[in-house]
Amino acid sequence: MGLRSAFIVLAGIFLLALVAIIPGPAIAAGVFHSQAALLKAQTGATTATTTTAAQSITGNGAPSGPHYNLNIHGVLKGGSSSTGSNGHDIFVPLQGQCKIALSPGDFQVLDPNCLDGSAGFQLPNPVDSAAPTTTIYSVWARALAKPGGSSSTTTCAYDLTGVLICSTSQYVMVQTRKNGQSVFTNVSADLLFVSQCIDGKLTRTPLFDSSLQDYFWQYDNTGLKLLQLRFYQVPTTVDASGSSC
């Protein structure tokens, strides 16, 4: 055996001895960290996909994912219908109008009985001051129950001198469904803002902006038995103030 061959054999024996000396857990640790890094990357990709999927539109026209339901029931005044609420129901006249007072806070029905002319609903501030034309959450609406009837909802408030200001962007729901499921419509621009067209320019004021006070929805009903609103934690961008109208 030559000198070169002997050196190679000795080097091999040394490496085998070194592997035998190193504890097994130390070797496994390197493999674990590599797998953990891969799992973290895969988890991040899954989260991003889930977030995107949660904002995708489903077959009923609304996004998928968690949401808050508000059901606005049209009932006959003096009828036997209950006006009790589990925090998700407001009862309005089947024919006529009433005011749903709005206040900032977590989603919650404060007063479910609008048959006496007024009810109360609490919902979060819909925009961030840094992005006043992109909502933090969105509102989707559809009519349920038997086809027939319509309603209109107008966002109103008072200016600081006490003058009533009502939005020119009125949300109108007509129940005309004959077959299949009812479809949701994004109504964020109508219900979360007071919009005015002044001298051909749009002025859009989000709910709870300090330039107005005592915000409410004016609900006018012509036989619509159930309007369902869903609030999703997804943004909606609306036309900015100053654009042509």
Tell me the per-residue pLDDT of 111-123, one tens digit each, with 9 for 90 and over: 999 999 999 999 9
pLDDT in tens, 56-110: 676 677 788 899 999 999 998 776 566 666 789 999 999 999 999 999 999 999 9
Please check whether residue 237 is in contact with residue 134, taking contact to mean a CB–CB distance below 8 angstroms: yes
- Beta pairing partners, 178: none
Is the pLDDT at 147 greater than 90, yes or no?
no
Is the pLDDT at 16 greater than 50, yes or no?
no
Please check whether residue 231 is in contact with residue 68, taking contact to mean a CB–CB distance below 8 angstroms: yes
pLDDT higher for 75 or 173? Answer: 75
Please check whether residue 133 is in contact with residue 237, taking contact to mean a CB–CB distance below 8 angstroms: yes
- Beta pairing partners, 185: 141
pLDDT higher for 4 or 103? Answer: 103
Please check whether residue 121 is in contact with residue 101, taking contact to mean a CB–CB distance below 8 angstroms: yes
Q: Is the pTM of this model over 0.75?
A: no
Neighbours of 80 (CB within 10 A): 6
> Helix, strand, or coil here: 154?
strand
Tokens of 90: 């407001």
Distance CA 115, CA 87 (A): 17
| Residue 12 pLDDT grade (very low, low, confident, very high; cuts 50, 70, 90) | very low
Taking the C-alpha atoms of 169, 174, 177 and 182 in order, what is their torsion angle to the nearest 10 degrees?
50
